[in-house]
Amino acid sequence: MRTDIVTIFPSYFDTLELSLLGKAKSRGLLEIHVHDLRDAAHDRHRTVDDTPTGGGAGMVMKPEPWGEMLDGILDSADDTDEQPPLIIFPSPAGEVFTQAMARELAEEPHLIFGCGRYEGIDQRVFDEYADRGRVRLISMGDYVLTGGEVAVLAMIEAIGRLLPGVVGNPESLVEESHEQGLLEYPSYTKPAKWRGREVPAELLSGNHAAIAQWRHEQALERTKRVRPDLLPG
């Protein structure tokens, strides 16, 4: 998968060199190109924002640098697929990101992420690229971040680990929270007793069916208690 990220804070994405995704990157499973939006702002101060038309608080990101940057990325990519690349703008006004969405986006060959700051991006940028191709606004949840960067890091991590070959043992992707509509069961390792707290006897039984049943019951109980909204009516 190829990803392009447009931001005014490129160094946010330095952490993508670490851990599993860093390895995926160096093994060529995930290509990440980070672009500084200010490279497409040509005045002396490399201005990317201006006051909101019609008045109001805060600043809005100007359309021209976005247009130049996104056109450049679209022109430079050799996208041979019938579908144009998907442009994602993280926004608290977007659809809420889920594991199902991560799975769907992991099938895309090319994702472009546009990180907004301030009070957002001039609406004409979304309209222009939606008319010319594919655009989605995606939210991390019902709270407000100071910009899209942290949301894009979370999305790339959730999507990247689903790419073939990124996680060593693909079985570990199956039994985790949200993959089967339930939260994950609690996990334990050695020692069997720590500070007087014992690993549940079922897990030490060696009986695979009993272990599977215990884990399912735990997942169900935890989901009922913490996230009843995930369970069918």
Shortest Cβ 33–ligand ADE spacing (Å): 20
Pick 67 or 92: Cβ nearer ligand ADE: 92
Evaluate whether 50 touches 59 at the Cβ level (below 8 Å).
yes
Footprint (CB under 6 A) of ligand ADE, residues 149-168: 151
Pick 125 or 166: Cβ nearer ligand ADE: 125
Evaluate whether 164 touches 115 at the Cβ level (below 8 Å).
no
Cα-Cα-Cα-Cα dihedral sign, residues 5, 11, 13, 14: positive
Give the contact letters, 123-142, x = binds to ligand ADE (CB under 6 A), - = no: ----------------xxx-
* C-alpha span between 65 and 35 (Å, rounded): 12
Q: What is the DSSP letter of 164?
A: T
Using rule CB under 6 A, residue 90 touches ligand ADE: yes
In terms of residues, how long is the chain?
A: 233
Interface pick for ligand ADE out of 145, 163, 167, 220 (rule CB under 6 A): 145
Shortest Cβ 68–ligand ADE spacing (Å): 22
Question: Residue 168: what residue type?
Answer: G
Which of these ranges, 5-13, 20-28, 143-151, 218-226, lies near ligand ADE under the rule CB under 6 A?
A: 143-151
Rama region for 21: left / alpha / beta (φ>0; ψ in -120 to 50; rest): alpha
Q: Which residues bind ligand ADE (CB under 6 A)?
A: 90-92, 139-141, 143-145, 148, 151
